Amino acid sequence: MKARISTTQFGKETDVIPGPFDYHAPDSLEEALSLLGEHGDDAKILAGGQSLIPAMRFRLALPAVLIDINRLSDLEYVRQDNGSLAIGAMTRETHIEHSEQVKTAYPMLADAAEVIADPLVRNRATVGGNLAHADPANDHPAVMLAYQAELVAAGPGGERVIPIDEFFTGFFENALSSDEILTQIRIPKPGADWGGAYLKIERKVGDYAVAAVAVQLQINDGACASVRIGLTNVNPQPMRATEAEQALAGRELSDQVLEEAGKAAAAQCEPSPDLRGSVEYKRDLVRILTKRAIRKALQRAKGASS
Ligand SMILES: Cc1cc2nc3c(=O)[nH]c(=O)nc-3n(C[C@H](O)[C@H](O)[C@H](O)COP(=O)(O)OP(=O)(O)OC[C@H]3O[C@@H](n4cnc5c(N)ncnc54)[C@H](O)[C@@H]3O)c2cc1C
């Protein structure tokens, strides 16, 4: 299916609020990839449209061609696959939010799913779109960094797997090339001695984070055997708080060690001042949320359910 989007105003054909674009709705991944190959940098994939449509409406994005992949329903699933949780790129946030296997085995992802935007947005927004948009304010990037997820991209030469640490390459930039489509997100299944938590402060329900922290850790003999920490909306690109991770590695998680980790995360991030707060406020929020998220992850690693 192909269409030209325009409207009639005062008897004259004129463009709608976004710039003019050609619209395609392919029925298969192969067709979508072929269209992407044909149009290259002129084309944009349309998933849930919850970031792309507002950007087009304000003409911050002016794609000449939209390739709507909403008909690719075989990219919408959550399932166990070779020891990982496999999430199809077109899986809606609401699906994650209500998935029992996510609630049971991936509580940090469940934490995030229920604080992303509002129920209306979550009905449309996709996990793949959230990551591909590479917005440092989005919640999935930090969570997937903490989980050490892998992303599967399909392109003309087949599939390739991109480690999450290599996916975010800049401000709203990712490692996908212009002829690739993100198809799957894989999260390794955490062992019994692992725990994770995502804590977000937002000004009001449905808003992006002022700051948020994702912590996934493993406890061994009372000490932190392994840890990964992701931060939301306090850096030009989604980031791991590696200095905080180093402050925790191999140590018992005393209040003093948690404070060191919180301070390290606050010092490493680079928030911008905006209507959500000053740089100082956001750094302090990171310090406190890091400590709280570590405590919650620790409780979960020890078997507490909430
Ligand atoms: C009012 C409002 C509040 C919001 N609050 C939050 C929030 O609190 N937290 C949060 O995380 N997000 C929030 N969002 C953003 C929302 O989660 C978006 O849906 C998400 O950022 C993009 O997902 P999408 O499926 O809508 O992608 P789209 O908007 O369709 O696409 C976004 C970008 O990703 C590309 N893309 C999409 N899918 C693929 C793919 N499979 N392969 C390659 N490229 C692809 C598109 O080409 C586009 O560049 C909010 C949005 C709104 C409107």
Q: In this structure, are residues 286 and 266 in contact, taking their beta carbons and an 8 Å threshold?
A: yes
Joined together, the tokens standing for residue 103 give: 């609630």
pLDDT at position 9: 55
Q: Tell me the C-alpha distance between 126 and 135, whole Å.
A: 14
Ligand 1 pocket, residue 149 CB under 6 Å: no
Residues of the chain above pLDDT 90, percent: 89
136-175 pLDDT per residue, tens = 999 999 999 999 999 999 999 999 999 999 999 999 999 9
The protein residue whose alpha carbon is closest to atom 13 in ligand 1 is 117
CB of residue 188 inside a 6 A radius of ligand 1: no
* pLDDT one-digit tens code per residue, 92-109: 999 999 999 999 999 999
* End-to-end alpha carbon distance in the chain: 47
Give per-residue pLDDT as tens, 217-228.
999 998 999 999
CA distances from 159 to 33, 52, 88, 145, 167 (A): 12, 25, 14, 21, 15
Ligand 1 atom with least separation from CA of 117: 5
Sign of CA dihedral 234, 240, 243, 246: positive
Task: Calculate mean pLDDT across residues 71-86.
Answer: 96
Q: Is 47 in the pocket of ligand 1 (CB under 6 A)?
A: yes
What are the residues facing 4 on neighbouring strands?
Answer: 22
Q: How far is CA 290 from CA 33, 164, 257, 258, in A?
A: 40, 21, 11, 8
Check the CA dihedral 219-222-228-232 and report its sign: positive
Residue nearest to atom 27 of ligand 1 (CA): 129
Cβ distance 174 to 168 under 8 Å?
yes
- Whether 33 lines ligand 1, by a CB cut-off of 6 Å, is no
pLDDT in tens, 198-224: 999 999 999 999 999 999 999 999 899
pLDDT of res. 58: 87
pLDDT at site 188 = 96
Instruction: Find out whether the beta carbon of 133 lies less than 6 Å from any atom of ligand 1.
Output: yes
Cα of 241 vs centre of ligand 1, distance in Å, is 24
CA of residue 129 to ligand 1 center, whole Å: 4
Read off the pLDDT of residues 5-47 as tens digits, 9 standing for 90 and up: 565 555 666 556 888 899 999 999 999 999 999 998 999 999 9
Look at ligand 1, atom 10, and give the residue with the nearest C-alpha. 138
89 lines ligand 1 (CB under 6 A): yes
Please return the burial class of 270, using the count of CB atoms within 10 Å of its CB with bins 0-12, 13-18 and 19+.
Answer: middle
Q: What is the structure's pLDDT at 31?
A: 98
Burial 65-88 (b: 16+ CB within 10 A, else e): bbbbbbebeebbebeeeeebbbbb
Closest CA to 238 of 179, 302, 168, 153: 168
| Best residue among 33, 39, 45, 181 to mutate for probing ligand 1, ranked by most atoms within 8 Å of CB | 45
98 burial class (0-12, 13-18, 19+ CB within 10 angstroms)?
Answer: middle
pLDDT digits (tens, 9 = 90+) for 256-305: 999 999 999 999 999 999 999 999 999 999 999 999 999 999 999 998 64
